[in-house]
Amino acid sequence: MKKALLLTTLLLYSGALFSQNPLFIPDTLSGNSISLQLQHGTKQFYPGTPTQTMGINGSFLAPTIILNRGQQVTLNVQNQLTDTTTIHWHGLHVSPANDGGPHIFVIPGQTWSPSFTVLDWASTYWYHPHLHYKTVEHVAAGMAGMIIVRDSIEAALALPRQYGIDDIPVIIQTRQFSTSNQIVVGQHLDTAVMINGTLKPFIQLPAQRIRLRLLNGSIERVYNIGLSTNESFQQIGSDGGLLAAPVTMSRLQLAPGERAEIIVNLTGKQNQTIQLMSYAAQLPNAIYGAAQPGMGFGQQLPGYSNNALNGSNFNLLEMRVGAPGDLPAGPTPSTLVAHSIFAPSQADTTRILTFMSAAMGPTAIQGPFMINNAHFDMNVINQHIPFNNIEIWELQNQTPIGHPFHLHDVPFYILSVNGAQPIASLRGRKDVVFVPAMGNVRFITQFETFFDDSLPYMYHCHMLTHEDDGMMGQFLVNSPFASSVKQYGLQKASVHLYPNPANSEVYIKSTANLNKPLSLEIKDLQGRLLKTMVLYDERARVDISELLPGIYLFVATDGASSFSARVIKQ
């Protein structure tokens, strides 16, 4: 049966654009040690010339990584490409050295091995390259994958969770192909829709409740998800976790970088065919993917109106319903997970970020866009955040197009969108928020667990063209000693490093009561551990003669708290 189906697909495929292809379901990887090979490849998207691609453990896209909250994981990222890149774990709460931002680049031939404890709630996350100026190119070529985190709270709920059977990864992307079948970027003519890298996909699903893990992995496009039957579905999760309760809806707006888990009830629908669609004709204007992004402002992207997808409704995934599956019938649990959200009055500070266009007037919609009047600069730290600060970020969009804003490090809760309470679907944990054109968003979060006085985290627009053009900034979560309010543990004054700059030796003097030995780690700015020592005494001499000239990070920890400083080796 399966063989016959495949044969039919192949025959149709060679002849016409109208054929349907079985949805590709990425393999899964799990466990404590995961190997990822970044590689060049080719893929036969269309008859004729194969498309040059980049993929992870394959020629296009990447395996789905399945992690359990609380587990330890080491990811060995082996760069077999001829190009430098980085891999970022989008949405995971990890240290800056493990985060895979633009500073943590992996050169060809090198293996980068971040290792961390999974602290995140059960949800759908993803991973993708993040090299400054190269993110669009590397993601468009095919490097992106899904991460599924599981935990005991989610496991106790009666939800579909058989991967690829009733719990389906749905990575939504569009591409522009040249006449020689090659991927083209930057022309806003992305008319080929693909799910998990499959053009015109269909999937056979059991007649029961189905969970779709929607991930907008597109470069720029926003989708307005709905069912061709116009029936409603339930959203159960947003970027960083399950919602407090399912939200019933018939349209779901999903911007680049955002994820949503939805339950589609196919019970009793055996032999029916239902399309998962984007009702882009119903998207409000000033959104990339709507009819006219700058309508009302008299502004339009060059070539925008030639793009057949903009402002029209189109299929994403054909769902063919088969026999009932083995999920017990019954409703989606009416409560999912408890959230405790900070009150605005708990915030230590409000930080304002203003989005602007570099150009004014009719071309303002083309960007490049800036945040607080600056383009991204690898050498400039834009924000210093005291460790454990609770902050409100106020995003003010002064441009004629909406931008999906993404924050690394910690998920946040949205307080308001254009001054009003967010809709139910936006009240869960988020790491991307769509900021409407000329609108504003406020969110609240705490910068907890990790600090580093040298290595920053990123915030940026997740329209990857905007990000590469510099709509990004970076922030340090400073060590507790940099903050007068939230100090704890070792005091800044309690550890001295000298001389600095140093030649071959550094002396460390601690005035702290060393009831516990102090452990010292020397790292480079990519976070690679070069040397460790245990200090039992108030004074120690560290030989650094073997280190190459450069900047190094010295991190002293007494188990409960730590102190870090940059040391310059001459």
Under the rule (CB under 6 A), what is the footprint of ligand C2O? 88, 90, 128, 130, 257, 406, 408, 458, 460, 462
Q: In the complex, what is the shortest distance from the CB of residue 434 to ligand C2O, in angstroms, rounded to a whole number?
A: 14
Site for Cu ion in 54-93 (CB under 5 A): 90
CA-closest candidate to residue 140, choices 28, 198, 61: 61
Q: Which does 257 bind (CB under 5 to 8 A by kind): ligand C2O, Cu ion, none?
A: ligand C2O
DSSP code for 412: B
- Name every residue whose Cβ is closer than 8 Å to that of residue 364 and which is 6 or more positions away in sequence: 294, 297, 299, 357, 399, 400
Contact between 103 and Cu ion by CB under 5 A: the answer reads no
Residue 287 φ/ψ, nearest 5 degrees: -120, 135
3-state SS class at 205: strand
430 binds, among ligand C2O, Cu ion, none (CB under 5 to 8 A by kind): none
Number of residues that bind Cu ion (CB under 5 A): 6
Does 462 bind Cu ion (CB under 5 A)? Our answer is: no
403 binds, among Cu ion, ligand C2O, none (CB under 5 to 8 A by kind): Cu ion
Contact 467, 186 (CB under 8 A): no
3-state secondary structure of 290: strand
Minimum distance between the CB of residue 89 and ligand C2O, rounded to whole angstroms?
9
CB of 138 to ligand C2O, least distance (A): 12
C-beta closer to Cu ion: residue 103 or 466: 466
Tokens of 212: 């779709």
Residue number, 87 or 522, with CB nearest to ligand C2O: 87
Q: How far is the CB of 366 from Cu ion (least distance, A)?
A: 11
Q: For the CB of residue 353, give the shortest distance to Cu ion in the complex, in Å.
A: 12
Shortest CB 329 distance to ligand C2O, Å: 37
CA distances from 79 to 41, 87, 111 (A): 13, 10, 6
Using the minimum distance from each CB to ligand C2O, give the nearer residue, 170 or 215: 215
Binding window for Cu ion (CB under 5 A); candidates: 8-16, 76-84, 461-469, 523-531: 461-469
Nearer to ligand C2O (CB atom), residue 150 or residue 408: 408
Select the binding partner of residue 461 from Cu ion, ligand C2O, none (C-beta < 5 to 8 A, by kind).
Cu ion
Measure the CA–CA gap between 207 and 321, rounded to whole angstroms.
6
Q: Kindly calculate the radius of gyration of the chain based on its CA atoms and give it in whole angstroms.
A: 25
SS3 236: strand
Residues of the chain by 3-state class (helix, strand, coil), percent to 5? 10, 45, 45
427 binds, among ligand C2O, Cu ion, none (CB under 5 to 8 A by kind): none
The 3-class secondary structure across 468-537, one letter per residue, is HCCCEEEEEEECHHHCCCCCCCCCHHHEEEECCCECCEEEEEECCCCCCCEEEEEECCCCCEEEEEEECC
Distances (CA, A) of 282 to 156, 222, 316, 422: 37, 12, 16, 20
CB of 195 to ligand C2O, least distance (A): 19
CB of 258 to Cu ion, least distance (A): 12
Q: Which is nearer to ligand C2O, 88 or 134 (CB)?
A: 88
Q: Examine residue 188 and tell whether it contacts Cu ion (CB under 5 A).
A: no
| Residues binding Cu ion (CB under 5 A) | 90, 403, 408, 461, 463, 466
